[in-house]
Amino acid sequence: DAGVIQSPRHEVTEMGQEVTLRCKPISGHNSLFWYRQTMMRGLELLIYFNNNVPIDDSGMPEDRFSAKMPNASFSTLKIQPSEPRDSAVYFCASSFGQRDNYGYTFGSGTRLTVV
């Protein structure tokens, strides 16, 4: 298995532009998570899906952020419009099973820089 695949690895964009991050979870995993990592705030959970359905999006910073999971093998995180404070590493992770059963497998992350 190739693991959790994220694209792009790096993204540099100008303030106000739309940014779309992509994730392909491990085949067979039924839960998918989006995290944001910064030095100041650590690893923050943004949203998670179970069986393609968003379960908890309380961590999404504001309406500029949106996430979709149209099928079991693909998810996107979109920021529109982007701002410099959105600069961070965005990780996607997937797991199998319900609560307390399994740990996550993380993707390599997307390093986003908004200038």
Partner 1 sequence: GENVEQHPSTLSVQEGDSAVIKCTYSDSASNYFPWYKQELGKRPQLIIDIRSNVGEKKDQRIAVTLNKTAKHFSLHITETQPEDSAVYFCAGPNTGNQFYFGTGTSLTVIP
Nearer to partner 1, 6 or 82 (CB): 6
Instruction: Tell me how far apart the alpha carbons of residues 108 and 37 are, in angstroms, rounded to a whole number.
Output: 12
Contact string (CB under 8 A) for partner 1, positions 26-65, x = contact: -----x-x-x------xx-x--x-x----xx---------
Q: How far apart are CA 38 and CA 51, in angstroms?
A: 28
Contacts of partner 1 in 62-81 (CB under 8 A): none
Task: Tell me 11's DSSP state.
Answer: E
Answer for the pair 7, 110: CB distance below 8 angstroms, yes or no: yes
As given in the structure block, the two tokens for residue 7 are 């694209």
Beta carbon of residue 46, minimum distance to partner 1 (angstroms, whole number): 10
Please tell me the distance from the alpha carbon of residue 38 to that of residue 10, in angstroms, as a whole number. Answer: 15
Smallest gap from residue 83 Cβ to partner 1 (A): 24
Size of the site for partner 1 (CB under 8 A): 23
Contact track, partner 1, 81-110, x by CB under 8 A: ----------x---x--xxxx-xxxxxxx-
Closest CA to 110 of 46, 52, 54, 35: 35
Footprint on this chain of partner 1 (rule: CB under 8 A)? 31, 33, 35, 42-43, 45, 48, 50, 55-56, 91, 95, 98-101, 103-109
